[in-house]
A and B are shown apart, each in its own frame.
Chain A
Amino acid sequence: MKKKFLVSFAVMTTLGTASFAGTIHGKVSGVSGESVVYVEAVPGKTFPAPTQHVTIDQKGLMFVPHITAVEQGTTVEFLNSDSVAHNVFWPSISGNKKLGHNLGTWPKGQRQSFKFDNPGVVSLLCNVHPEMAAYVIVSPTPYFAETNAAGEFKIENVPDGAYSVTAWHEGAKNKSNPVKVAGDTAADFTLSK
């Protein structure tokens, strides 16, 4: 009887653990401004591509927003709201130049779409306005968040478990920390340039 109870308790605990959704919260320090924190790929686990598109605008010779975090498989629409011709290209994704791409030219009011199937950091540039820059952070999982100006973040609905969590900041070195999520879990990062 005692043995049966122990087995039942272990199964329930395992199932319970797997179904609990936790939260990763913390702060990115060492840098100022917005950062992105995301959970790295989970071996053996795949996620459906989001159906909702994300828009990045080109307005006043700037990309708006400057930093966009999306899940792998997301389609991003690049809008030109300026009355000058723009271009969007990225020379690589996380340094992999084979994943570089150029979307060409399009006039005011029109959009060009691109589906980001490869995770990593995408540096957006415009080849006629070299001062323009923006970043798309393609997270391999749906568990990501952008920090506020103070560096604070909160990633919700993360299943309990052990993960590698990465913090990215423009111009800083990425930092990945192992995080064991169990309910409300704290994870702080200190980045340096």
Chain B
Amino acid sequence: MKSKWLSFFSIGLLALISLTVVLLTPPPASAIPAFSRKYGTSCTTCHSDFPKLNDFGKAFKDAGFKFPKDDESFLKQPPVLLGAPAQAELWPRTVYPGVIPGTIPAGLRYNTYYQQVSSNRNNFNLALPAGTVGDFVPKTDFQPGLFSIFTAGNFGSGIAFWVDDDISVAGANVNGALGDGYLKFHDLSRFLKMPTDSLNLRAGQFELDLPFSQARTWNLSGWDIFGQANIGVQNGLIPQFVNNGSALENAANGVEFSGGHAYQGYHYSAAVFDQNTSGVNVSPSNIGPQNGVAFNSDANFKDLYGRFVYRFNLEKDPVSRNDVQAAGTTGPRDHTFLSLGTFYFYGRTAQNVSGVLSDGITPTVLTAREPFYRIGGDVNFNYRNLNVFGVYVAAHDHNLVPVTASGAQGITGFAPGPAATFSGGFAEADYLALPWAMTIMRWDQVKSSADRINFLQYDPAAPPGSSFLSPYAATRNRFTPGEQFLIHANIKTSVEYQIMPPQVVYDPVTGALIKGPFRTNALVVGLEFVY
């Protein structure tokens, strides 16, 4: 029994460390200096506090990284023609003419960090057996950040491109290395006589159309709910066999249809894509080279994602209300707006395990296909320099628990178990006190049954006492006040203090109280620049 507890604890510890890393590792972000060079304009034309987009930046992105109107009149670097425009008349007897940017549309970014972690940072080691070397979290730490390259622009004919890569690290998307890499065909609706911008197509690797981009968040730390996977362990207390590594922030490979605008009215997207949903590591049995090409999918099933949001600009004057930016008395500004949105993610994990046939002897591979969904809603309100927004997500994974028939020598099948669920979200308020100073207050919460298994080995017959902020280990709360300063339009320093309320947890072996073993407050300071 003791070894079983220790096994659980080890898994929990692993997950804890992963969680700690996730919480303390600032996500990548981006602003595009290439556009500054191309148009001879400041970062603040599109960003209120880079990489947070203002309304004009949203319209610029919606238009395919172009000015919404008369783009050519703003160019300071003319594009290179890949064929005279008149060649279009010869198509299909010639290659359709396009353009490439006049200079390489690349921007670079570097960041560096300093962290200071509260005194309970190593408490979890108290639960390790005597003499065990535990992980060590230093009180203070200077950290290298990411060195990233961003390329983006437009090839003409409404075809936009984006590729970003964190050169200095391995991984994918929000975890570094290749982030988004896609072509986006804008306004296909013009060929179908549909309303302008009502149909776009994006293909490649991209972040899902989340209400707020985790890959391009302006915060030092990402929103917890977007990074939440549903990875449980099989155990006797709460039978759970869910090993779903899918998180909303993960990179998706596939195609996405979208339409509408981010700065007013409706916006929708519908994507068909692959994500790795087989757990933390892709199963070697599901992925491998085939004629030199490695598969990304770990199942035949394609994941689906859809989003719809409607934004109400609230200016009384219809001209101002419908323009890209509102007409303020002292200059154009972001709209006062309220947007309401919803999103839905449907996927299916495939977990292969070694088992036996019904004879109870003959080895075979059994596959558990577990459908899952994520459903959420979001609200976003902006009044002048105050932006308040939030997201709520509910997650549900079908749970097939391996069963062993009487007398069999291995797993013979699966039986439905209690669903593995989590829910939570965040609320955030950003106040741009000055054009170069933004105050942030965040609250993140994640309630996860998988977390309960991973992080708390409690006796269900005698559950621990609960506190208001952290009723069980299944609930993680985080309050994160922060401040960000633009030293220049392309240089930013940020500070945030992550407050994670202490939690009541008992040593599973001794029963001794361990208070707040992995709710570690952290001060994070970042310095970054793009050029």
Give me the interface of A with B, judged by CB distance under 8 Å: 59-61, 82-87, 89, 102, 104-107, 126-131
Q: Which residues of A contact B325 (CB under 8 A)?
A: 85, 128
- The answer to whether B67 and A102 have CB atoms under 8 Å apart is no
Q: How many A-B residue pairs have CB under 8 A?
A: 71
Q: How far is the CB of B60 from chain A (nearest CB, A)?
A: 10
Q: Which residues of B contact A89 (CB under 8 A)?
A: 330-331
Tell whether A105 pairs with B56 under 8 Å between CB atoms, given A61-B39, A130-B44, A131-B41: no
Tell whether A60 pairs with B330 under 8 Å between CB atoms, given A83-B67, A130-B42, A131-B42: no
Q: Kindly state the separation between the CA atoms of A85 and B326 in the bound complex, as whole angstroms.
A: 9
Q: Kindly state the separation between the CA atoms of A156 and B508 in the bound complex, as whole angstroms.
A: 96
B40, B45, B69: the one contacting A83 at CB < 8 Å is B69
A85, A106, A107, A129: the one contacting B42 at CB < 8 Å is A129
- The answer to whether B332 and A87 have CB atoms under 8 Å apart is yes
- The answer to whether B73 and A129 have CB atoms under 8 Å apart is no
- The answer to whether A84 and B331 have CB atoms under 8 Å apart is no
- The answer to whether A85 and B324 have CB atoms under 8 Å apart is yes
Given contacts A61-B41, A83-B68, A87-B332, 10 further A-B contacts (CB under 8 A): A84-B56, A85-B324, A85-B327, A86-B332, A89-B331, A102-B329, A107-B323, A127-B330, A128-B333, A130-B42
- The answer to whether B69 and A105 have CB atoms under 8 Å apart is no
Q: Which residues of B contact A102 (CB under 8 A)?
A: 329-331
- The answer to whether B40 and A128 have CB atoms under 8 Å apart is no
Q: Kindly state the separation between the CA atoms of A128 and B41 in the bound complex, as whole angstroms.
A: 10
A87, A106, A129: the one contacting B45 at CB < 8 Å is A129
Q: Which residues of A contact B89 (CB under 8 A)?
A: none
Q: Kindly state the separation between the CA atoms of A61 and B320 in the bound complex, as whole angstroms.
A: 20
Q: Which residues of B contact A82 (CB under 8 A)?
A: 70, 73-74
Q: Kindly state the separation between the CA atoms of A107 and B323 in the bound complex, as whole angstroms.
A: 9
Q: Which residues of B contact A128 (CB under 8 A)?
A: 44-45, 56, 325, 331-333
Q: Mark B24-42, 1 if CB is under 8 A from A, else 0.
A: 0000000000000001111
Give me the interface of B with A, judged by CB distance under 8 Å: 39-42, 44-45, 56, 67-70, 73-74, 76, 319, 323-325, 327-333, 489
Cβ-closest chain B residue relative to A88? B331
Cβ-closest chain B residue relative to A126? B331
Q: Which residues of B contact A86 (CB under 8 A)?
A: 332
- The answer to whether A107 and B319 have CB atoms under 8 Å apart is yes
14 contacts between A and B (CB under 8 A): A60-B73, A61-B74, A83-B69, A85-B324, A85-B327, A87-B331, A87-B332, A89-B330, A104-B330, A105-B332, A126-B331, A129-B41, A130-B44, A131-B40
Q: Which residues of A contact B44 (CB under 8 A)?
A: 128, 130
Tell whether A83 pairs with B70 under 8 Å between CB atoms, given A129-B41, A130-B44: yes
Cβ-closest chain A residue relative to B71? A83
Q: Which residues of A contact B41 (CB under 8 A)?
A: 61, 129, 131
Cβ-closest chain B residue relative to A85? B332
Q: Which residues of A contact B56 (CB under 8 A)?
A: 84, 128
- The answer to whether A84 and B67 have CB atoms under 8 Å apart is yes
Q: Kindly state the separation between the CA atoms of A61 and B332 in the bound complex, as whole angstroms.
A: 14
Q: Kindly state the separation between the CA atoms of A128 and B55 in the bound complex, as whole angstroms.
A: 11
A59, A85, A87, A104: the one contacting B323 at CB < 8 Å is A85
Q: How far is the CB of B274 from chain A (nearest CB, A)?
A: 39
Q: Kindly state the separation between the CA atoms of A110 and B42 in the bound complex, as whole angstroms.
A: 24
Tell whether A105 pairs with B42 under 8 Å between CB atoms, given A82-B73, A84-B67: no
Q: How far is the CB of A157 from chain B (nearest CB, A)?
A: 39
Q: Which residues of A contact B69 (CB under 8 A)?
A: 83-84
- The answer to whether B327 and A104 have CB atoms under 8 Å apart is yes
Q: Kindly state the separation between the CA atoms of A124 and B489 in the bound complex, as whole angstroms.
A: 20
In this complex, which of A104, A126, A128 has the most chain B Cβ atoms within 10 angstroms of its Cβ? A128
Q: Kindly state the separation between the CA atoms of A109 and B347 in the bound complex, as whole angstroms.
A: 51
Q: Which residues of A contact B327 (CB under 8 A)?
A: 85, 104-107
Q: Kindly state the separation between the CA atoms of A117 and B42 in the bound complex, as whole angstroms.
A: 32
Q: How far is the CB of A26 from chain B (nearest CB, A)?
A: 34
Q: Which residues of A contact B331 (CB under 8 A)?
A: 87, 89, 102, 104-105, 126-128
Q: Kindly state the separation between the CA atoms of A102 and B45 in the bound complex, as whole angstroms.
A: 19
Cβ-closest chain A residue relative to B325? A85
Q: Kindly state the separation between the CA atoms of A102 and B332 in the bound complex, as whole angstroms.
A: 12
Q: Kindly state the separation between the CA atoms of A105 and B68 in the bound complex, as whole angstroms.
A: 18
- The answer to whether B332 and A130 have CB atoms under 8 Å apart is no
A59, A104, A129: the one contacting B328 at CB < 8 Å is A104
Q: How far is the CB of B434 from chain A (nearest CB, A)?
A: 13
Q: Which residues of A contact B323 (CB under 8 A)?
A: 85, 107
Cβ-closest chain B residue relative to A105? B327
Q: Which residues of A contact B332 (CB under 8 A)?
A: 85-87, 105, 127-128
Q: Kindly state the separation between the CA atoms of A104 and B320 in the bound complex, as whole angstroms.
A: 13
Q: Kindly state the separation between the CA atoms of A107 and B324 in the bound complex, as whole angstroms.
A: 11
Minimum-distance CB pairs A-B, first 7: A87-B331, A83-B69, A85-B332, A127-B331, A105-B327, A83-B70, A102-B330
Q: Which residues of A contact B39 (CB under 8 A)?
A: 61
Q: Which residues of A contact B74 (CB under 8 A)?
A: 60-61, 82, 84
Q: Kindly state the separation between the CA atoms of A68 and B324 in the bound complex, as whole angstroms.
A: 30
Q: How far is the CB of B132 from chain A (nearest CB, A)?
A: 57
Q: Kindly state the separation between the CA atoms of A131 and B329 in the bound complex, as whole angstroms.
A: 20
Q: How far is the CB of A83 from chain B (nearest CB, A)?
A: 4
Cβ-closest chain B residue relative to A62? B40
Q: How far is the CB of A102 from chain B (nearest CB, A)?
A: 5
Q: Kindly state the separation between the CA atoms of A59 and B40 in the bound complex, as whole angstroms.
A: 13
